[in-house]
Amino acid sequence: MSAQNLSVYDFVVDVIPGVATIILLFSVAPSETLGQLSTEHLTVGSGFLVVIIGYFVGHVIQALASPVDLKVYLRYHDDFPFEEVLRTANEQDSVINGFDDRAELFFQPTDETVSGSELFELVQSYLWNHDIGRSKRFQTLYTFLRSMWVLLALGGVIHFLALVGDVLFNYPLHWSVGESLLIIAGLFGLSYVSYKRRIKYHRRMARAMILDFQSNVLSQTDD
């Protein structure tokens, strides 16, 4: 794989979190090692190498972040945004009232029942395969933020442990105690903001999927 073959989705969802992971790990390296790093030695070739390594590291981060994010999300929410939007629409006089029944009939014109998660995957797959609407954009941002909030929180923990090692065991950390505390606070703060934004874009993605499928697919079949 080369950097030229990576899509915008790959860069946002995998490369950026992967490169951020590499930077976080280097930031707690021993002071002597960190002091030897310089952008003067960075070439186009090494830049491509960082991107490719970041891509694969990003995949690992995404795999680790997904179950952590799911556990945290389900602790504070009863439904996923897709089901929540559908339930709210069915309770109100909405233009997407009954969307789940019509979409289920579109994909499975039999008496078999399609679960909410299956319907979500079917709608998402159809929209993505036919390049319809804005939901993929929101999906990209949601997935990126899902990885980033977990990564930033993990970075805060790693910096805290490095600071403890510096204070108690003379680990040669590059940063002073004050700088480390600022970094830790910043990482946890950014993690919180990223999680809140992840919630926002998850909901936007769900609503966009439903509206896009309603206006571009179901409305055409109704005609």
- Residues 6 or more apart in contact with residue 219 via CB below 8 angstroms: none
pLDDT tens digits, one per residue of 110-121: 667 777 788 899
198 in any annotated domain:
yes
Run of H or E residues at 8: helix 8-10
13 in any annotated domain:
no
pLDDT for 84: 86
Q: In one letter, which amino acid is 25?
A: L
Q: Which of 114-128, 156-170, 196-210 has the least mean pLDDT?
A: 114-128
Contact between 149 and 72 (Cβ < 8 Å): no
pLDDT tens digits, one per residue of 12-38: 999 999 999 999 999 999 988 776 665
37 in any annotated domain:
no
pLDDT for 11: 93
47 in any annotated domain:
no
pLDDT for 3: 55
Run of H or E residues at 189: helix 177-213
31 in any annotated domain:
no
Q: Tell me what the pLDDT averaged over the chain comes to.
A: 88
Q: How far apart are CA 118 and CA 14, in angstroms?
A: 25
User: At 39, is the pLDDT very low, low, confident or very high (cuts 50, 70, 90)?
Assistant: low
User: At 5, is the pLDDT very low, low, confident or very high (cuts 50, 70, 90)?
Assistant: low
Count structural domains, the chain.
1
Q: Summarize the confidence of residues 87-108 as an average pLDDT.
A: 77
Domain containing 152: what range? 61-222
Share of the chain above pLDDT 90, in %: 55
Contact between 132 and 217 (Cβ < 8 Å): yes
pLDDT for 48: 86
